[in-house]
Amino acid sequence: MSTFVAQAPKRHLHTVADYYRMAAAGILRPDERTELIEGEIIDMAPIGSRHASVVTKLTLELQRVVNDRAIVRVQNPVRLGDLSEPQPDLALLRPRADFYRDAHPGPADILLIIEVADTSLDYDRNTKLPLYARHGVPEVWLVDLVASTVERFLDPAQAAYRRRDLLSAAAAPSLLPGCTIRLDAF
């Protein structure tokens, strides 16, 4: 008599290298908006006009205030280990002469990540924030377009941030004191 042992289905997780091989092979089309989160390929929500407008305003404001103290990257990947390469709406990075030509920035390069959320609020809050915390991203701002609020998350520990502040009209990133960013125009 044979014994049947039930097994739960196994997930096949992809590495960042797998992800790029899929893109090179045409499995992922260049016009698809995807990101790799903990080994899973995630389809990103379409960018609405209000979301795009806020990202553009924040980009201009960040470039104005940080000058050469940081690199402002817009909707470009950051590499968080071998299984994750999210594309935050904005990232402030430590300056580098090559502008990260040879490799996407990693956690040690990131000064601030900003996620702008309307339809993606639940995903940004419950998936991306814990991911950023696990990888030691020092500060994340979540711009909630529905509630018209900006939350700042600091002090990452395991899969959460120990400090959460509600920002008002203006704030400076903790690692860039003096670079005050206006937040009242969103």
Mean pLDDT of 9-36: 90
pLDDT, tens digit, 9 for 90 and up, residues 28-51 = 988 889 999 999 999 998 899 999
Other CB atoms closer than 10 Å to residue 180's CB: what's the count? 14
CA distances from 31 to 28, 38, 43, 121 (A): 8, 22, 11, 23
| Confidence check: pLDDT of 9 > 90 | no
| Residue 2, pLDDT above cutoff 70 | no
When pLDDT is averaged across residues 91-97 and rounded to a whole number, the result is 97
| 185 pLDDT more than 70 | no
This prediction's pTM: 0.92
pLDDT at residue 145 is higher than 70? yes
- What stretch of H or E contains 55? helix 49-66
Judged against a pLDDT cut of 80, whether residue 5 lies above it is answered with no
**Average pLDDT in the chain:** 93
